[in-house]
Amino acid sequence: MFKIEQVKNSNSITKYEVKLSAINKLFLFALLLVLAGFNIETNKVNKDSSFEDEIANGTFEFVNESEASIEFIEEKSGRVTWYGPGFHGNFTSSGEIYDQEDFTCAHRALPFGTVLRVTNLNNGKSVVVRVTDRGPVSTYFEIDLSKAAFREIEDLNAGVTTAKIERAVFKGEKIPVLSVN
């Protein structure tokens, strides 16, 4: 989910910088919006010659309202498992380094970066994850969650649970985007 780079300056002092990829920044922002339960509304103020008077009087006219939101579309239900310790620190199929404490998952076909909400059908607990790897190998399972993601919806000792898997769909004219710096 992040990359730590070692940087040496001209005085041979070593510093470490943590960098997030653009997709990780977008995922974290989307996750924040989903968990907070917000819809983003963007309003433009109609500016005309009496704009200063409207400010002084406390009256504003909003035009061109648009709304951006995140919706979840049900894809399917199925058996979900988790993977972690044997893969921790290795490269995923997307090229990222797997961290079992990130909220990620493996799916056989969805594009990398796809955001999913996984809801345990036994207890109603949900987690939002991002597809970063391919799997599971067995067609008996729909997805493999990271250790941390599975722990959010089920006891790790259970190993397997039945869950509803929904894909995030971003709608609206103005989709929030994070800088790539």
Q: Domain check: are 32 and 89 in the same one?
A: no
Q: Domain check: are 140 and 56 in the same one?
A: no
Q: Domain check: are 119 and 56 in the same one?
A: no
**Is residue 179 assigned to a domain?**
no
Domain edge (last residue) among 23, 50, 69: 69
The percent of residues above 70 in pLDDT, for the chain, comes to 60
State the total domains in the chain. Answer: 3
Q: Domain check: are 56 and 102 in the same one?
A: no
Provide the residue range defining the domain that includes 120.
70-171
17 has a pLDDT exceeding 60? yes
**Is residue 6 assigned to a domain?**
yes
Q: Domain check: are 80 and 135 in the same one?
A: yes
| Diameter of the chain measured on Cα atoms | 68
**Is residue 88 assigned to a domain?**
yes
Q: Domain check: are 26 and 112 in the same one?
A: no
The two three-digit tokens of residue 177, written as one number: 């985007």
**Is residue 23 assigned to a domain?**
yes
Domain edge (last residue) among 48, 69, 90: 69
Q: Domain check: are 131 and 44 in the same one?
A: no
Domain edge (last residue) among 21, 49, 69: 69
Of residues 159 and 56, more confidence is placed in 159
| Alpha-carbon radius of gyration of the chain | 21
Q: Domain check: are 77 and 166 in the same one?
A: yes
Q: Domain check: are 103 and 166 in the same one?
A: yes
> What pLDDT score does 90 carry?
94
- 47-79 burial code (b ≥16 CB/10 A, e <16): eeeeeeeeeeeeeeeeeeeeebebebeebeeee
Q: Domain check: are 164 and 79 in the same one?
A: yes
The percent of residues above 90 in pLDDT, for the chain, comes to 49
pTM of the model: 0.59
pLDDT tens digits for range 93-125 = 999 999 999 999 999 999 999 999 999 999 999
Q: Domain check: are 101 and 120 in the same one?
A: yes
CATH (domain of 158): 2.40.40.10
Nearest 5°: CA angle at 106, between 157 and 102?
70
Find out whether 122 and 93 touch, Cβ atoms under 8 Å. no
